[in-house]
Amino acid sequence: MISALRPISFNLIYTLKAPSTPLTSAKKFLSISTRSMAVRGTALCDYDAGKKNDDADLRQTGNDVNITSWVNPNDKSGEFKRGQSAFRNWISSKPGAQFPPEKDRYHLYVSYACPWAHRTLITRKLKGLEDIIPYTAVHWHMGEKGWRFVTPDENVPGENVTAEPLNGYSHLREIYFSVDPEYKGRFTVPTLYDKKTKQIVSNESSEIIRMFYHEFDGLLDDKYKSVDLLPAALEKDIDTANEWIYDTVNNGVYKCGFATTQEAYEKSITPLFSSLDRIEEHLAKTYSPSTPYYFGKDITEVDIRLFTTIIRFDPVYVQHFKTNIRDIRSGYPAVHRWLRHLYWDIPAFGETTQFEHIRKHYTKSHGQINPFAITPVGPLPDIMRKDEEVNALKK
- Model confidence pLDDT, tens digit, residues 275-312: 999 999 999 999 999 999 999 999 999 999 999 999 99
φ and ψ of 171, to 5 deg: -135, 150
Structure confidence at residue 53 (pLDDT): 33
Structure confidence at residue 391 (pLDDT): 82
**How far is Cα 318 from Cα 259, in angstroms, rounded to an integer?**
15
Beta strands in the chain (DSSP E): 106-110, 135-137, 142-143, 146-147, 191-194, 199-202
Bridge-based pairing of strands 106-110 and 191-194 is antiparallel
Q: What is the set of domains in the chain, with CATH numbers?
A: 23-40+231-393 (1.20.1050.10)
Q: Select which of 43, 114, 318, 384 is catalytic.
A: 114
Name residue 113's amino acid.
Answer: A
CA distances from 114 to 95, 142, 249 (A): 34, 11, 15
Structure confidence at residue 76 (pLDDT): 60
Residue 188: strand, helix, or coil: coil
Cβ neighbours of residue 164 closer than 8 Å, sequence gap 6 or more: 136, 149, 170
Structure confidence at residue 36 (pLDDT): 32
| 114 has catalytic annotation | yes
**How far is Cα 200 from Cα 192, in angstroms, rounded to an integer?**
6
With a cut of 70, list the residues of the chain below it in pLDDT.
Answer: 1-85, 394-395
pTM above 0.75, yes or no: yes
List residues bridging with 91 in a β-sheet.
Answer: 99
Bridge-based pairing of strands 106-110 and 135-137 is parallel
Cβ contact 184:62 at 8 Å: yes
Cβ contact 115:45 at 8 Å: yes
